[in-house]
Amino acid sequence: MIKTLLNRRFQRQESGTQYRTLWQLLHLDLPLLIGIVSLITFGFFILYSATNQQFSMVEQEIIHISLAALIMVFLAQIPPHVYQRWSPALFYLSLFLMVVVLIVGRIDKGAQRWISLGLFRFQPSELMKIAIPMMLAWYFTQHPLPPKLKHIGIAALIILIPAFLAAKEPDLGTAIILILSGICVLLFAGIRWRFVISLFTLITTSAPVLWHFLHGYQRERILTFINPERDPLGTGYHIIQSKIAIGSGGIFGKGWLLGTQSHLHFLPEHATDFIFAVCGEEFGLFGSLFLLLLYLAITAACFRIAQNAQDTYTRLLAGSIGLMFFISVFVNMGMVSGILPVVGLPLPLISYGGSSMITLMASFGILMSIQTHRKLWSQ
């Protein structure tokens, strides 16, 4: 009965679109949805263990995810041309909010990342994580691709001004993410490879200068990354502990809830940034690979949407959302397993914490919107 419901075809002729299945009626993309649900479910098991079986925290997370899911469904209903039209406005609004945060934050004692909106705190830099790709996608649809040098110049401004504001908060991790998300869009827009090479050379040659601008604790992070043993009681502690946790998981893991490293020294980071270590310890290589596979499946679903997209704006947006999603997974797993320095970025959809979850689900909502608002014939 449910099957017939799911497969019931709704025939409707309205401005050229045809709704075919329940999922399409709801504007949900089934493959992506399945990937997300599977990942989140697996994530709950890991989270439950990481929080030392505090179900209350898992409950909190369920609430966060439900809220985020609602946002996702809501955003999926909005047709992409609306997003396209409002991209610049959203970008300018986010920019404005980031400036407000900096000013207000100066009055507050150092907490420069949040705006308190009564019930919950809102992080404008999170908003910027969607706003930059949308703005860039919009911008690149104004001119033919591949983009010329002056277009890239403007694009660079669109990326670097918010990144600079983020770095001033100071939130270097987010600044890097913003830059990377912009680079993803540039990549998909077809930036010429010679630009990429010259950009790369510019970054490597200015590395010593950038080093000068880093705060003490940021330099510490990089130096400890290269050799965690140099600061085993301070910043090296997390890396050392998580490598032990992952390594001792072996192929099959120690079993759910039976991880020792993560439990004998309860660190809140085990529920947030370093949660992957719990997965590695308790589910072993199989579990880690399985997790990676789930993430790859979601990435593949995103790329599929990008491939099927029908105009430049949607293509660019979909592609960069998918690629950025994978990059944030890679950064977190790389950090936890010790191949990247500690940057304080959570594991998407699994780490405890609401703010990044909402942004992520929102972007999935936009992806679903792109996929399900396609006309059956291309323009």
Under the binding rule (CB under 8 A), the answer on residue 292 touching other proteins is: yes
Alpha carbon separation from 183 to 131, 187, 331, 341 (Å, rounded):
14, 6, 15, 20
Under the binding rule (CB under 8 A), the answer on residue 92 touching other proteins is: no
Binding residues for other proteins, rule CB under 8 A, total 55
Instruction: Give the residue among 194, 179, 181 at the shortest CA–CA distance from 146.
Output: 194
Alpha-carbon dihedral of residues 128, 149, 199, 216, nearest 10 degrees? -40
Q: Which of 44, 122, 290, 303 binds other proteins (CB under 8 A)?
A: 303
Return phi, psi of residue 334, to 5°.
-65, -40
To other proteins, the closest distance from the beta carbon of 297 in angstroms equals 12
Residue with tokens 């992806």: 367
To other proteins, the closest distance from the beta carbon of 284 in angstroms equals 6
Instruction: Give the residue among 220, 224, 123 at the shortest CA–CA distance from 169.
Output: 123
Under the binding rule (CB under 8 A), the answer on residue 88 touching other proteins is: no
Q: Which of 25, 82, 100, 289 binds other proteins (CB under 8 A)?
A: 289
- Among the listed ranges 54-62, 82-90, 182-190, 351-359, the one in contact with other proteins (CB under 8 A) is 182-190
* Number of separate helices (H) and strands (E) present in the chain: 16, 2
Q: Which of 187, 222, 223, 297 binds other proteins (CB under 8 A)?
A: 187
Instruction: Give the residue among 70, 187, 182 at the shortest CA–CA distance from 129.
Output: 182
Instruction: Give the residue among 279, 261, 372 at the shortest CA–CA distance from 329.
Output: 279
DSSP 376: S
How many CB atoms sit inside 10 A of residue 160's CB? 15
x/- map, 2-41, other proteins, by CB under 8 A: ----------------------------------------
To other proteins, the closest distance from the beta carbon of 323 in angstroms equals 5
Under the binding rule (CB under 8 A), the answer on residue 153 touching other proteins is: no
Q: Which of 13, 233, 376, 377 binds other proteins (CB under 8 A)?
A: 233
Q: Which of 7, 59, 203, 250 binds other proteins (CB under 8 A)?
A: 250
Long-range contacts: 298-301, Cβ < 8 Å, 24+?
A: 298/32, 298/35, 298/36, 298/39, 298/325, 299/323, 299/325, 299/326, 299/329, 301/29, 301/31, 301/32, 301/35
Smaller CB separation from other proteins, 114 or 276: 276
Tokens representing 36?
A: 């997300």
DSSP 119: T
To other proteins, the closest distance from the beta carbon of 123 in angstroms equals 27
- Among the listed ranges 10-18, 61-69, 204-212, 227-235, the one in contact with other proteins (CB under 8 A) is 227-235
Instruction: Give the residue among 142, 87, 58 at the shortest CA–CA distance from 366.
Output: 87
Q: Which of 163, 333, 335, 367 binds other proteins (CB under 8 A)?
A: 333
Q: Which of 1, 149, 264, 376 binds other proteins (CB under 8 A)?
A: 264
Q: Which residues make up the interface to other proteins (CB under 8 A)?
A: 143-146, 184, 187-190, 231-234, 237, 243-251, 260-261, 264-267, 280, 284-285, 288-289, 292, 296, 299, 303, 306-307, 312, 315-316, 319, 322-323, 326-327, 330, 333-334, 337-339, 379
